[in-house]
Amino acid sequence: MSKNAELIADGLDCFAEDFEKVSLHGETIKNAEFEECTFVSCDFSETLFRSCRFIDCRFENCNLSLMKLTDSKVSGCEFISSKLIGIDWTMCDWKSLLSNEPMKFKQCILNDSNFYGLLQDRIEIRECSAKDLDFRSGSFKNADFRGSDFKGALFGDTHLEYANFTDASNTNIDLKNNYIKGAVFNRYEALYMLESMGIVLVD
């Protein structure tokens, strides 16, 4: 366990700290602030962060599944090779952020998470398992979704203008009920979406 493990407590205010192999499984942390901090191989599964702040932090090889971020602020955070299953991102406090920088997920497992109604233009979800995510009524313009698997993901009234879906799979997006001007898809995925609407394609 990291020597900094005992420092994570209610009211903590830290800048540019490194945390490694810290376990807070199932615990509750209130009013803590983390800015430009790095978390490596930490277990925050089922941890409740209430009214906390994570600004420009990096999480690598962490287990964050079922983590709760009730009334917490998250901006500019990067997640690498981490598990983030079943997180309800709508519980965060997005409205009071003066500058909301998009989140970045790379080679993560994000299955069964909720992004409903969020404004996360320029979000990055690259080479991730993004199964059964809810993107309905949200804005993800200029997003980078390259190489991710969106099997079962929900899109409806979703702004995806100029999003990059190159090498993404299972992008079952209704072209009539979403905004996809300028979005980039592989030819196979584009044909798949057209066929799913009952359009007959011939050579």
Q: What is the mean pLDDT of the chain?
A: 91
Total length of the chain: 203
What is the reported pLDDT for 188? Answer: 73
22-72 per-position pLDDT tens digit? 999 999 999 999 999 999 999 999 999 999 999 999 999 999 999 999 999
Q: Which two tokens stand for residue 83?
A: 């598990």
pTM for the model: 0.90
Task: Decide if pLDDT at 14 tops 70.
Answer: yes
Contact 148, 129 (CB under 8 A): yes
What is the reported pLDDT for 2? Answer: 45
117-155 per-position pLDDT tens digit? 999 999 999 999 999 999 999 999 999 999 999 999 999
Express as a percent the part of the chain with pLDDT over 70.
90
pLDDT band at 96 (very low <50, low <70, confident <90, very high): confident
Structure-model confidence comparison of residues 111 and 198, the more confident one: 111
Phi/psi class of residue 115: alpha, beta or left (left: φ > 0; alpha: ψ in -120 to 50)? alpha
Structural domain 110-203, CATH architecture: 3 Solenoid (2.160)
Task: Decide if pLDDT at 4 tops 90.
Answer: no
Domains 1-88 and 110-203 share a fold: yes
Query: Angle at Cα 83 formed by Cα 160 and Cα 185, nearest 5°?
Result: 25
Domain spans of the chain, in order of start: 1-88, 110-203
152-168 per-position pLDDT tens digit? 999 999 999 999 999 99
CATH assignment, 1-88: 2.160.20.80
pLDDT band at 195 (very low <50, low <70, confident <90, very high): low
Average pLDDT over every residue of 6-28: 91
Structure-model confidence comparison of residues 4 and 166, the more confident one: 166
Q: Where are the alpha helices (DSSP H) in the chain?
A: 187-196
